Structure 1
Amino acid sequence: MAAVSDLYMRFHQIHGANVRLDDSQTQATRAESFGNGVCFSKEPLDPGKIFLVEIEEKELGWCGNVRIGLTAHDPRNLETVPEYSLPDLVNLGSSWIFAITRNHNKVTTDDQQSNPAPKSHCSMEAFLQIGNHKVPKDKLVGRSRPGRYSHILDQLYKTNILPATARGSRVGVLYIIRANMGDLHIVINGEDMGPCARGIPINQPLYAVVDVFASTKSVRIIQVDYGFPSLQTLCRQVVQKHIMHRLAIDWLELPALLKNYCKYE
């Protein structure tokens, strides 16, 4: 299990002043106020690989929600982390950030306008096809916290009826290469909302950006497995199968990083 950390997508240690990361660097919580919540992926994204987060906590009293996108700025080279992703980080250039809503200003071609692709909220396909890339769908859809109405809420996530920024919703960003440029896609609970931006230069590393802004209080990275299950994934499945509830993993005599890997997918 020593290689678990190598497979993890994590948040960068450089982030907004109000952000607190947990020990696994997969949970980002805004400790106070409503701004200074900008976070970055620890490593640049590869084409077709999604950076996926689940909204864990909400905070009443603020207007606005999580923002997500890409930046070509290496966090280590920023003099200071901008207070807001919109407009501050975008104003630095080479950043493509979007506020999460159900309807984005999608970039469409003439062919797409005349022949729009049919939408299916209840597709049984195992993968979400975006360009030439397939993203496993099993982790893309939000899940409720265990409780009396879990079965109802889980169905609402699957049909994408709940607000895009509801607690438990899963929001991700990825890019694909088309004509030697990047197309940015945002995915909400398994539904592709993009392309939201096109013509992104790919001659430099692109980092995911998550702005834990306003009503969004805390987010956690969801690890997405591509291809055949890894040894780590198979071991995690065995652990999860033999416990009554994932919170019981805290009681196991395992390293903290492995507990997080088992508990938070």
Structure 2
Amino acid sequence: MPQMRFHKHHGYNIELTEECQIAKRKFSFANAITFGQHPLKPGDLFLFEIESQELGWSGHLRCGLTQYNPENLKCHYKVPSWPDTPPASHSRTHHVGAQSSVDSEAGLEYIPQYSMPDLTNMGKSWMHAVTKYPTRSEDYPTELDNPFEVAEQSKSSNKFIQNIGNFLIVGKSTIPKRYLVRDDFAIDMELNEKIASRRYSAVCVGSRIGITFNIQGDSAYMYFIINGEDSSGTKMERANLSAPFFPVVDVYGVTKQVRILQISYMPSLQEMCRDVIISQITSSAIGALPLPSKLKHYLKFE
């Protein structure tokens, strides 16, 4: 997977810095949709970290995938209608109308001010409103303001994402958890998981969120990995399996700034051999292999 950057086309409230790896919302609470510069392949992980917040708003970032190529999307350049200081209250379900329209001269679709419901109403987009304490895929609830219906949840038996010890297996990639959760989060979780889980929510500063997808048969499924945990898998209805999928981050509400994280992990030859072996057999069959016990434990990530 090539190094990921944010695309040059984005909502007009967004400012990109550090070679387009940081996206900051300059003012207001909306018009802050950003896109990945490159589409993802099945199993690719788009990973980012929340770097700052702006209190006084309601709601947090939204993220997901779209089949709109951001190169063909146009930004609304206009004076924002909201002042720099937030109003007394703003509901996370507030909606002042979609800005989506087509530029008749350029033939470009405008980037809407909200990802939910505006971008999803345009079709070809699947977004998720990140909450403080997301549930796992089997218990994943539908958001009240979610414009698309969560139709079919991924089954734990598909094994697309496996949580094994200090590693997370995503498709055919084995990723050390040190890339997926900040060190201070991980240390506190080891000391006292109950207290740490209350202190570090999915939307707090330092939280790391990954987006990936998989194709199974004639269906595509979107997955989220939040601080090293597989949080949900959702079927993307009416997805075109032959079209590219671009990651989307809407720097909305309390969330002020996010940074893309590059995963530059090169597995050792030993780890690659393990990946090949476990891809060919079930975990229950490892015990029957004619191997020393030490190697069997290694294959089981023990």
Instruction: Identify whether the pair has TM-score above 0.5, normalized to the shorter chain.
Output: yes
Distance in 2 separating the partners of 1:34 and 1:155: 36
Q: Is 2:216 the counterpart of 1:175?
A: no
Contact map agreement 2:153 2:235 (CA 8 A) in 1: no
Give the aligned partner of residue 267 of structure 2.
Answer: 228
Mark the CA change 1:157 to 1:180 in structure 2 (over 3 Å): closer, same or farther: farther
- List runs of 5+ in structure 2 lacking aligned partners: 74-108, 142-149, 269-302
The structural deviation recorded for 1:131 is 4.7
Distance in 1 separating the partners of 2:62 and 2:42: 20
Contact map agreement 1:27 1:218 (CA 8 A) in 2: yes
Contact map agreement 2:54 2:256 (CA 8 A) in 1: yes
* TM-superposition CA deviations, 1:43-79 (whole Å, max 9, x none): 1111101111100001100000011100000112222
* TM-superposition CA deviations, 1:196-254 (whole Å, max 9, x none): 2345332101100000001000000011135438xxxxxxxxxxxxxxxxxxxxxxxxx
Contact map agreement 2:210 2:226 (CA 8 A) in 1: yes
Distance in 2 separating the partners of 1:134 and 1:32: 39
Give the aligned partner of residue 89 of structure 1.
Answer: 119
Give the aligned partner of residue 9 of structure 2.
Answer: 14
Distance in 2 separating the partners of 1:57 and 1:49: 26
The structural deviation recorded for 1:130 is 3.9
Distance in 1 separating the partners of 2:158 and 2:23: 37
Mark the CA change 1:116 to 1:156 in structure 2 (over 3 Å): closer, same or farther: farther
Give the aligned partner of residue 153 of structure 2.
Answer: 108
Q: Is 2:137 the counterpart of 1:142?
A: no
Distance in 2 separating the partners of 1:91 and 1:84: 10
Partner SS, residue 20 of structure 2: coil
Distance in 1 separating the partners of 2:266 and 2:221: 23
Distance in 1 separating the partners of 2:191 and 2:245: 34
Distance in 1 separating the partners of 2:126 and 2:158: 24
**Higher deviation after alignment, 196-205 or 25-34:** 196-205
Give the aligned partner of residue 28 of structure 1.
Answer: 23
* TM-superposition CA deviations, 1:11-33 (whole Å, max 9, x none): 00000010000031000000000
Give the aligned partner of residue 169 of structure 2.
Answer: 129
Contact map agreement 1:56 1:168 (CA 8 A) in 2: yes
Aligned pairs for 1:70-81 within 5 A = 70-78=65-73, 79-81=109-111
Contact map agreement 2:5 2:19 (CA 8 A) in 1: yes
**Higher deviation after alignment, 154-163 or 186-195:** 154-163
| AA aligned opposite 2:52 | E
Contact map agreement 1:143 1:154 (CA 8 A) in 2: no
The RMSD of aligned alpha carbons is 3.1
Mark the CA change 1:138 to 1:210 in structure 2 (over 3 Å): closer, same or farther: same
Q: State the 4+ residue runs in structure 1 displaced beyond 4 angstroms.
A: 153-161
Q: Normalized against structure 1, the TM-score is what?
A: 0.71
Q: Pick from 185, 193, 202: which aligns with 2:231?
A: 193
Structure (1 or 2) with the larger CA radius of gyration:
2
Q: Pick from 253, 275, 286: which aligns with 1:214?
A: 253
Distance in 2 separating the partners of 1:156 and 1:100: 24
| AA aligned opposite 1:87 | P
Contact map agreement 1:68 1:99 (CA 8 A) in 2: yes
| AA aligned opposite 2:181 | V
The structural deviation recorded for 1:135 is 3.8
Distance in 2 separating the partners of 1:7 and 1:154: 33
Contact map agreement 1:157 1:169 (CA 8 A) in 2: no
| AA aligned opposite 1:181 | S
Identity of counterpart residues, as a percentage? 37
